[in-house]
């Protein structure tokens, strides 16, 4: 099961974690199955948390397009596109682009089955 761990950490803490993970990987001890997403400011972390429902809707309904997702979550497509871009930029979703009947279609995909929060890093 793929798991996403979300936290708030300073850039230095994130770099330290990366160095530890790189050392383990070089030794051949890869910790598989989870990915970490660390925010270095509370505003972005809050934006992520506030919009978890969007991720849940993508995972549960598997919409074929952002437009279809907008209907599911009852949200303006323009505002939803901004959230989709944010989630894609931080690595929480993947967006598949395709052409359907001559129109460009973006399909949001959540590749994680579980999201955990590491709040001890936020103190």
The Cα–Cα gap between 4 and 91 comes to: 10
Backbone torsions φ then ψ of 82, nearest 5 degrees: -65, -40
**What is the block-wise mean pLDDT of the chain (123 residues), using blocks of 10 residues?**
83 69 68 77 93 95 96 96 96 93 93 85 48
In which domain, by residue range, is 11 found?
A: 3-122
Query: What CATH number should be reported for the domain holding residue 70?
Result: 1.10.10.10
Residue-level pLDDT at 58: 96
The Cα–Cα gap between 59 and 51 comes to: 13
Is pTM beyond 0.95? Reply is: no
Question: Structural domain tally of the chain?
Answer: 1
């Amino acid at each position: 099961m793929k798991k996403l761990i979300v936290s708030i950490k300073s850039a230095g803490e994130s770099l330290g974690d990366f160095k530890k993970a790189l050392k383990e990987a070089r030794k051949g001890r890869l910790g598989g199955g989870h990915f970490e997403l660390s925010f270095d400011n509370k505003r972005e972390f809050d934006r992520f948390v506030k919009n978890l429902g969007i991720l849940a809707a993508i995972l549960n309904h598997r919409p074929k397009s952002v437009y279809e997702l907008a209907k599911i979550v009852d949200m303006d497509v323009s505002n939803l596109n901004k959230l989709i871009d944010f989630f894609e930029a931080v690595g929480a979703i993947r967006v598949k682009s395709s052409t359907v009947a001559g129109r460009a279609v973006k399909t949001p995909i959540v590749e994680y089955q579980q999201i955990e929060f590491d709040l001890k890093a936020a103190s």
